[in-house]
Chain A
Amino acid sequence: MSFDLSAVVAGAYSSRLLDGLQITLWLTGVSWLLAYALGTVLAVAYMANNRIVRGMVFVYVEFHRNVPLLVLILLWYFGVFTLAPGWLASWTNGPGSEFRASAFAIGLCMAAYVAEDIRSGVRSLPVGQNEAARALGLSYLQSATWVILPQAVRIAIPLLVNRAIIFFKGSALAMTVGVAELTYVTREIENATFRTFEAYLIATGIYVAISLLIMAVGAMIEHRFAIGSR
């Protein structure tokens, strides 16, 4: 009984950790793509002057904000994916389905938050921006794409980076449905060696390092695209 970090990275353990890290990164990447794409669409939809569309976005956002992510993952994996039609069965029930279900659950949940973040950015802009764009003859979509979003997203970058970190860490919840990501592997190694501290210390280090990296990249993006003052 002693503190020995090398015991949890010895032999096959280090390659298992790397495999887990790789899956964590893939899961994070896929859910981010989904979240930022859908979140932007939702934010634009909410800007529309249409009560039905706004109502739908509102319901979507509130649903995902009020249900724990863990429950959403279980719901997708054991619920939604099981109800899929037969021709989809190998995709929703075969190997890798736990990854796909988790990516959907995390991505769709994060999209709700991203939509809110971008909406905050939109609300911080003067109404005149949109009115001027429309007065110049731009359509609603053109105004949103070329005038409002470029400004709103830049303002929202700190929020979006924050969100990215939270959901990067949230990817660990996917282990409940058997996705062999970093925390899953860590717990397996802990279970095999009974070296609780060492195993979790390594995982902590990796999570912190990647979170810091995300923050650094976020700061770079923020700096690069900052709205200059005239």
Chain B
Amino acid sequence: MNRALKWGLVVGAMMGYGMVSVAHADQLGDVKAKGVLTCGVLANLEPFGFQDPNTREYTGYDVDFCNAVAKGLGVKPELKAVSLEARIPELLQKRIDILAAALGYTPDRAKQIAFSDAYFVSRSMVVAHEGKGFTKTQDLAGKRISVVRGGTIAIFIAKALPTATTVAFDDYPAAFLAFGQEKVDGFGTPEIALLRFKAKMEKQIPMVLLSPPVGEELWGLGMRSDEGGFKRAVNGVLQDMERSGEAQKIFDKWLGGATIFKMRREFKIAPIPPQ
């Protein structure tokens, strides 16, 4: 038993050692000296971070922001694909400098990493089957709603519909299938994913979008929280992008009228208000 305890301490200490960092290095200086900004992006979340089937390069809304931030800092971007599960450790262990990976702000998450100004606002919505008497979000109180693991949607639903149960699946097809097979009454997801599924599945599964949205997710670029100077520099670049219209251009390219989403940009890049 004693030996087991000792080993436990050794393992614990090793893990702790990896996590506790000392804040003497200045990341902004490091990045500029290196001349490279290593940026973590998701590889399978169209249209934010995904592989272009033709060029096989990573591309998307998040990727464009990465490239623009690197350019604004006067360095070269280096893209690194991260998984939803590993994105935070990758950042904390300094394998990447910054995350542009669909990071929705929550106060609990902000204790772990620093968020830049919000560069995207994602509304979270719930759909229900047509003709079942569900017309507004509150009608789903006490019902079961399928969601995809890894997002903030479950957190929003817990707040907006405390009596509802969320059932989390690994990916969109599974969460949507559970909804399609009526194993759950609603399907909750960010607006973007919803618009894509509605466009594809509307004919087979008639559904209604319930309003109001259950929440609004503010996406920030993720950085280590002990790098104030770096964060200020990144925010400076983001604000410049807003002023120059580049942010609007990136939005229109991936989500605007010419895309299947046909969204209008109803936000400006702005600091995330403390909640």
Contacts and interface: CB of A to CB of B under 8 A. Distances in A.
B154 interface: yes
Contact of A1 (B151, B169, B177, B225): B225
B15 A3 contact: yes
Report the interface size class on chain B.
Answer: 35 or more
Contact of B111 (A176, A193, A201): A193
Interface stretch (B16-24, B52-60, B118-126): B16-24
Interface residues of A, number: 28
Contact of A95 (B88, B144, B154, B225): B144
B168 A184 contact: yes
A106 B186 CA distance: 27
A143 interface: no
B92 A1 contact: yes
B16 A194 contact: no
A174 to B, nearest CB: 12
B268 interface: no
B19 A197 contact: yes
B224 interface: yes
A78 B175 CA distance: 11
Contacts of A7: 111
Contacts of A78: 174, 177-178, 181
B19 A3 contact: yes
Majority SS at the chain A contact face:
helix
Nearest to B182: A93
B167 interface: yes
Contacts, number: 80
B113 A98 contact: no
Nearest to A98: B167
Q: Is the interface of B mostly helix, strand, loop or mixed?
A: mixed
Interface in A9-30: none
Contacts of B154: 188
Among A1, A74, A97, A177: residue with most chain B CB under 10 A: A1
Contact of A196 (B16, B89, B155, B181): B89
A192 B108 contact: yes
A82 B113 CA distance: 43
A78 B113 CA distance: 38
B183 interface: yes
A176 B168 CA distance: 8
A187 interface: yes
Given A2-B20, A187-B149, A192 B109 contact: yes
Contact of A192 (B12, B19, B106, B113): B106
Contacts of B16: 3
Interface string B168-197: 111000100110011100000000000000
A15 to B, nearest CB: 14
28 contacts: A1-B226, A3-B20, A78-B177, A78-B178, A95-B165, A98-B167, A175-B168, A176-B170, A177-B174, A178-B167, A180-B167, A180-B168, A184-B168, A187-B85, A188-B168, A192-B106, A192-B155, A193-B111, A193-B112, A194-B109, A194-B111, A194-B112, A194-B113, A195-B112, A196-B85, A196-B88, A197-B19, A201-B15
Cβ-closest 7 pairs across A and B: A178-B167, A194-B112, A3-B16, A3-B19, A194-B88, A194-B109, A193-B108
